[in-house]
A = this chain, B = another copy of it.
């Protein structure tokens, strides 16, 4: 079913049908009615691709996420999608995986689809390869990176001061008289690197001796990973008094490990995660967590992209401030 089919049956030209569909003025009420009836009769809907071709506008935006199963990221995507869908855009949300080549591949897919805007979700997209791909394949569409930045004329970024936030976490533990603090990283990413910096800064600021900076990297970013690393930390440093984890998901594994090893939380061991996620409300005791402002981050990203879609392409750089949410684990 095309506008021609409708036109033929209505005894008018295709252009008339097109005008009716798009509510253009200058159509006799009677003709309009006749066409509209036919449109309804056949449940006709115009082909977005064909329209996009002639209008030079696909109304498509791409949202790239390393892994959509990561609660934190999909929650953000949800908010962004809601905002953009309300404005008539259709979002293509895809999981790229962590490999640079695949990220580049997905950028190409978005190019083929001629998206008019792109969201890059998370600092994992802060790589040279991604930068090069954007430069080569999407040099003119507005791109917004959530919690990261790429120095390109069409890319904007919003970042959270997670380094400073983690520093506050260290401060909090010190205030609770916990001075032997370990830090567990779930993966290597610019965001996690910043958190690690914050940990080191905070420890230095609180005059912790250098040999007491205990950095741990997880085998896997999961509850089990958190469980295992925590056992390891406790075994290697039985005098540990606090652990900060790069994300809540692994922190909750740590909470359980502490319990199983007979380290009461928070009395003997203070624990802090990052994301202020639902995981922290489920475990026992409830987890103190660094709120990295997911909602505000997403809303800003959506609104910056929206501006870009409206033609104001500019590489904005914004920062939001994280905040420690204290619960039962400290």
Contact = CB atoms under 8 A, between A and B. Distances in A.
Stoichiometry, copies per complex: 2
A230 to B, nearest CB: 14
B93 A93 contact: yes
A67 B45 CA distance: 25
Main secondary structure of the interface of A (DSSP, over half): helix
A112 interface: yes
A48 B283 contact: no
A293 interface: no
Contacts of A68: 68, 74, 77-78, 81, 93
A231 to B, nearest CB: 16
A12 interface: no
B71 A78 contact: no
Given A252-B282, A256-B284, A281-B223, A48 B113 contact: yes
Contacts of A259: 284
Given A45-B137, A49-B114, 12 more contacts: A43-B137, A46-B112, A49-B53, A49-B113, A68-B68, A68-B74, A68-B81, A90-B94, A253-B282, A256-B282, A282-B282, A283-B284
A82 B106 CA distance: 12
A50 B53 contact: yes
Interface string A62-84: 00000111010011011001100
Contact of A45 (B45, B47, B108): B108
Contacts of A113: 48-49, 90
A111 interface: yes
29 contacts: A43-B136, A43-B137, A45-B137, A48-B114, A49-B49, A49-B113, A49-B114, A53-B53, A68-B74, A68-B78, A68-B93, A71-B71, A74-B74, A78-B95, A81-B94, A81-B95, A82-B95, A90-B94, A90-B109, A90-B113, A91-B92, A91-B93, A92-B92, A223-B278, A223-B282, A252-B282, A256-B282, A283-B283, A283-B284
Contacts of A108: 45
Nearest to A63: B93
Interface string A237-263: 000000000000000110010010000
Contacts of A136: 43
A52 interface: yes
A15 interface: no
A177 interface: no
A85 interface: yes
Contacts of A314: none
Given A50-B53, A74-B74, A85 B81 contact: no
Interface string A115-159: 000000000000000000000110000000000000000000000
Contacts of A95: 78, 81-82
